[in-house]
Structure 1
Amino acid sequence: MDVLINVFVALHIIGIASLLGGFLTQMKAMGAGTARFTPAMLHGAVTMLVTGVALVGLNQADSQPVDNIKIGVKLALLIVILGLVYVKRDEEKVAKGAFIAVGALTVANIFIAKLWT
């Protein structure tokens, strides 16, 4: 079971890298007012959602403790991120506030994952 959990952790990290990497590559465009949500950002958010749900299930099946409040907060942030990216994915330009919100929520999600014990 540990190998399967580690595979899903790796896939979860790949998803967050895709989401955060897409954000970081658009930083210069954000300064120019032409930032947009890339397909990689959407796919990264969906990957995070699917692998995160799988990780919770696998950890519970393996009788490992799961902090449901932490998972709920992370899920709420991810749903906001996913909603913003999905709704605005076809727009040529995304408002600076919405774009910054996605980046900030993504970074907050990372810090919650590592610092909330």
Structure 2
Amino acid sequence: MSIVQGLVVVLHLLGMAAILGGWFATRTSPRVHPAMLWGARSQIVTGLILVGLAEAGIGTDGEPVNHPKIGVKLVVALAVAALVEIANARQKRFNLPVAIGPGAPTPIMVAAPLVQAAAGLALLNVLVAVLWT
């Protein structure tokens, strides 16, 4: 395994850890943690770099790239990033200093379902990576 590929794998794993770690850190009142945003973004970038390296034959020991698996992982990673970005935007919008009446949604209420879904999809992506052979 080349040093470059090893470093990209480490960054890829750190991105996954940031998503799930951010969710674990806020799981009692789910909201977007900045680490989740950057983790989701880095997962896409480092994943694409890893596929490019694999297509170039670097660190794969001659094994072909499993394109259906990569396609599924890319779609799931894009969904995770979209959910985290949308949740972050909603969270910011509802944090504005505006008079809100009783029963109005709070920042946590509007972000929680999206954050939960993003964490679940991130876990699904880990399962696809490990179990799909």
Match of 1:99 in 2: 115
The alignment of Structure 1 onto Structure 2 pairs a total of residues equal to: 112
Higher helix share: 1
Q: 1:1-38: per-residue Cα shift (whole Å, max 9, x none)?
A: 62211111111000000011001111111xxxxx2111
Shift in Å, 1:99: 2.3
The residue type equivalent to 1:80 in the other structure is A
Match of 1:85 in 2: 84
Single out whichever of 99-108 and 53-62 deviates more from structure 2. 99-108
Structure 1 unaligned segments of length 5 or more: list them: 30-34
Q: 1:22-69: per-residue Cα shift (whole Å, max 9, x none)?
A: 01111111xxxxx21111101000111100000000011125421110
Match runs of 1:1-117 below 5 Å: 2-29=2-29, 35-62=30-57, 64-90=63-89, 91=91, 92-93=107-108, 94-117=110-133
**Aligned-residue identity in percent:** 38
TM-score (norm 1): 0.88
The residue type equivalent to 2:35 in the other structure is A
The residue type equivalent to 1:102 in the other structure is A
Which fold has the larger relative contact order, with Cα–Cα distance below 8 Å and residues 6 or more apart in sequence? 1
Match of 1:32 in 2: none
Higher Rg: 2
Structure 2 unaligned segments of length 5 or more: list them: 92-106
TM-score (norm 2): 0.78
Single out whichever of 13-22 and 96-105 deviates more from structure 2. 96-105
Let me know the Cα RMSD of the aligned residues: 1.4
